[in-house]
Amino acid sequence: MAIKAMGRRTQQPATVSEDSWIEVAGLDKQYQPRRSAPTQALRDINLTVRRGEFISVVGPSGCGKTTLLKILAGLSPKTAGTVRIAGTEVVRPLREVGMVFQAPTLLPWRTIFDNVMVPAEIQKLDPARHRARAQELLDMVGLTGFERKYPHELSGGMQQRAGICRALVHDPAVLLMDEPFGALDAMTREYMNVELLRIWRESGQTAVLVTHSIPEAVFLSDRVVVLSPRPGRIAEILTIDLDRPRDLGVMSSDRAGVYVERIRRHFNAAGVID
């Protein structure tokens, strides 16, 4: 459940650089099953993310994208290397991090508003302040009037918007997203991409998105991190020089197409991870 990504707020060191808000150095991850050979998921990942930046991570299936995100969230231990967020080494879930999973994972017995409030309740944050924050977020994503509905009464896209609100309600410094729109139909997914850009712009969070869609990564991101086949290594970090704010027309532009084709060349076949 998304609430597991929420931990205690740590004191931010005074010397944190906004150019290295997220810092990953020499990161390795190896899975060691009891009855089979070890699997090297990630190898020598080195990455810095600026405060307020939007980063997407793409790569072939099984290359370690979700593993990387879970390590950033403090949900999976690393094998070697260092990972820091806002100057704090990640060894457990941090208060500074919110996470949106592939499915909304809303609690079916709670209303949408009460689902959004779960992280604040778990962390025993000020109820009045965070109830106001929850309402502000629901208004921002277009769910005004749906606060007392239950998850089954909302569409998939609306549920995912509620999941994003839940991840943001405690004002995290970093928003991590693991293929949040993968289960949506194409039209809803495009709409949610535009909504996500607006939410990111208005909330000011640093965002890291894992996606299988190269066009989606190009449309949303300041930079795209391309991982190689397992064990995942950084094959390229591509800066996306497209003007902001962006609308859906950008996706069909020649400039966006150049970036999409450049990323696809890493995988030797158009659409291999799309």
Strand pairing class (80-85; 54-58): unpaired
173 Cβ contact list (under 8 Å, min separation 6): 21, 51, 85, 86, 96, 97, 205, 206
pLDDT of residue 15: 65
Q: Which of 49, 56, 46, 54 is nearest to 19 (CA)?
A: 49
What are the pLDDT digits (tens) for 183-212?
778 888 888 888 889 888 888 889 999 999
What are the pLDDT digits (tens) for 40-67?
999 999 999 999 999 999 999 889 999 9
What are the pLDDT digits (tens) for 137-192?
898 888 999 999 999 999 988 898 898 889 888 888 899 999 888 877 888 888 88
List the domain boundaries for the chain: 2-8+50-74+92-267
What are the pLDDT digits (tens) for 93-113?
888 898 888 888 899 999 999
Query: Which fold would CATH assign to domain 2-8+50-74+92-267?
Result: Rossmann fold (3.40.50)
Q: Tally Cβ neighbours within 10 Å of residue 75.
A: 18
Strand pairing class (174-178; 206-210): parallel
Please tell me which residue, 5 or 271, carries the higher pLDDT value. 271
67 Cβ contact list (under 8 Å, min separation 6): 29, 41, 42, 76, 232
Q: What is the mean pLDDT of residues 74-103?
A: 90
- Strands of the chain, DSSP E: 22-31, 39-49, 54-58, 80-85, 88-89, 97-100, 174-178, 206-210, 223-227, 234-239
